[in-house]
Amino acid sequence: MPRCVRKSVNVLLCLVAVAGIGWSGREIWQVWQGRHQIDEACAGIVPAGRVLALSPAGGTLSHRQADEGTIELDAGLPQDCEIFSTEAGEKHGTSSGERWFFTGTVGALPEQSVVADDPLEELVDFYGDPTYPVQPLGGGVAGVVGDTGVMVQLPCPKGRSNGVPVTDLWARAELMDPGPHFTEKGQLSAHDRQTLAKAAVTMANRLAERLGCAERLPDPPSDIPALTEGPVPAARADGTCAWYGKAGFSRRPGLPDQVLQSRTDDRLWDESCGLVLSGSRARALWLAGTKDHEHLIGPKRPGQYFVSLHTYAGEEATTIRLSRTDYDEAEPGKAGRSSEEPVWWASSECDGRPQIHTMTAAYGYDDLMTPALEKVFRAYVTDVTERRGCSQVKFPAASTFHSEPDAD
């Protein structure tokens, strides 16, 4: 190679090397700065490496600069931290060039009351988009996978938070409205599901260590499946709604013909089965009943008529309110109906822990079908309590299954 050419090549290689060093140095700085932002916002509870591995975590990271949105364990639980990314912002076209993409939240039980499903809160998407019921995480971990993140629970019978005893801890890792740029067919990617699950487990274990809890969660399963789309015909009911399909309820006039279901997992603190009427069945029911219920507004969307069934376990079961009214509560060891809403509850005990089972009927649908729902609720509660090996089952009295609340 001629000397002049060799010299030119050497200069070029030097320039490439310098550029490479500069580029890698910038990357290293961004990673270090990102870790610093996450650790500062999340008090070392959230694993920074997991957050940096999420799809929307590119570019420059920053965190919420406020009392809310940063974790301060000394201020009590729950606490959360909020992380921003310039790449997420650029992909979504935000004017600021950054976007809130991740939230890590930790808390402890007992906490504020849990309110049963609202008769006006429809179970399927209002605009007709696919509905994906949450699914159990599995793998020996008490946890659920939703459309944006993962939540886990960890027992902590001797833990304390700011001097207050706690019974269980929980942690949630989630993406904030990831949108089409960071999803696959409307769902989290397999990589992000796995990363969020590992982050949530690590968060729960780190919080347990800080609060003096002896228990630790195992690693989450290595292959977390995508959520399944619903609703599906009642003939295909399985998992939490299998009892409905086996009993043939959908063949009875006026009862739901579709289900929203998940896999069963007796570790879960909240397990549910949703029953919905297709648009044609709801319309036919309404037309048949309007002469006796002239005040009823006809269903305008599939799923507007529904029945929502839940089983709350353990500490969660001691805090259930049937409506947003403070005194309208479900009590372990008893059963009845809300004094204000079409919501019923039954109770049982499983492995020494209380369970509350609730049923919410949609407004309008309750006027037409309440008497028929007694058998549906009994069948649901019987299935759950037999599967979980529960005893001391209490059902609401038959007199509570009327169109209007009737004190038990």
| DSSP string for residues in 122-158 | -SS-TTS--B---EEEETTEEEEE-SSEEEEEEEEEE
324 token code pair: 């947003």
Arithmetic mean of pLDDT, 252-271: 97
- 223: burial class by Cβ within 10 Å (0-12, 13-18, 19+)? exposed
pLDDT of residue 170: 98
Residue 324 has pLDDT above 80, yes or no: yes
Single-letter amino acid, residue 270: D
| Of 264, 236, 240, 227, residue with least CA distance to 134 | 227
pLDDT of residue 407: 40
Rg (CA), the chain: 26
Residue 251 has pLDDT above 50, yes or no: yes
pLDDT of residue 2: 57
CA distance 54 to 32: 16
Residues 6+ apart with CB under 8 A from 391: 348, 349, 350, 385
Arithmetic mean of pLDDT, 8-31: 54
pLDDT in tens, 50-100: 999 999 999 999 999 877 899 999 999 999 999 999 999 988 878 777 899
pLDDT of residue 375: 98
pLDDT in tens, 118-162: 999 999 998 888 899 999 999 999 999 999 999 999 999 988 898
Arithmetic mean of pLDDT, 167-176: 96
pLDDT, the chain, mean: 90
Give Cα separations from 33 to 38, 74, 137, 307 (angstroms): 9, 25, 32, 49
| Of 195, 352, 376, 385, residue with least CA distance to 271 | 385
pLDDT in tens, 7-18: 554 544 444 444
236 token code pair: 């295909």
Give the position of tokens 């060039």. Answer: 97
Nearest-5° Cα angle at 293, 288 to 296: 95
- 39: burial class by Cβ within 10 Å (0-12, 13-18, 19+)? middle
- Position with higher pLDDT, 26 vs 142: 142
pLDDT of residue 26: 61
CA distance 227 to 385: 26
pLDDT in tens, 210-246: 999 999 999 999 999 999 999 999 999 999 999 999 9
pLDDT in tens, 106-124: 999 988 889 999 999 999 9
pLDDT of residue 177: 85
pLDDT of residue 111: 83
